[in-house]
Amino acid sequence: MDLTEIERRIVNRYQRGFPYEPRPFKAMADALGLTEELVLNTLADLRERRILSRVGAVIAPNTVGASTLAAMSVPQAMLDQVAAQVSAHPEVNHNYEREHHLNLWFVLAADDRDAVLEVIRKIEAETGLEVVELPLEESYHIDLGFRV
CATH of the domain at 83: 3.30.70.3460
pLDDT for position 123: 98
95: DSSP letter = E
Residues 73, 129: one domain? yes
7-24 burial by CB neighbour count: b if 16+ within 10 A, else e? bebbbeebeeebeeeeeb
Residues 98, 129: one domain? yes
pLDDT for position 26: 97
Percent of the chain with pLDDT over 70: 94
In this structure, are residues 104 and 83 in contact, taking their beta carbons and an 8 Å threshold? yes
Is the residue at 54 inside a domain?
Answer: no
Mean pLDDT score of the chain:
91
Q: Which domain holds residue 29?
A: 5-48
Q: Per the structure, how many domains does the chain have?
A: 2
Is the residue at 148 inside a domain?
Answer: no
pLDDT at 121 over 80: yes
Q: What is the mean pLDDT of residues 57-63?
A: 70
Is the residue at 11 inside a domain?
Answer: yes
Backbone angles phi, psi at 26, to 5 degrees: -70, -40
Residues 89, 130: one domain? yes
Residues 70, 40: one domain? no
Is the residue at 58 inside a domain?
Answer: no
Residues 37, 80: one domain? no
Q: What are the angstrom distances between the C-alpha of 76 and each of 30, 82, 98, 122, 129?
A: 48, 10, 11, 21, 13
Q: What angle do CA 67, 69, 74 make, to 5 degrees?
A: 135
The Cα 130–Cα 75 span in angstroms is 12
- If one compares 145 and 49, the residue with the highest pLDDT of the two is 49
Q: What confidence tier does 16 reach under pLDDT thresholds 50, 70, 90? A: confident
Specify the DSSP element, H or E, that contains 132. Answer: strand 131-134
Is the residue at 126 inside a domain?
Answer: yes
Residues 41, 73: one domain? no
List pLDDT tens digits, range 104-119.
999 999 999 999 999 9
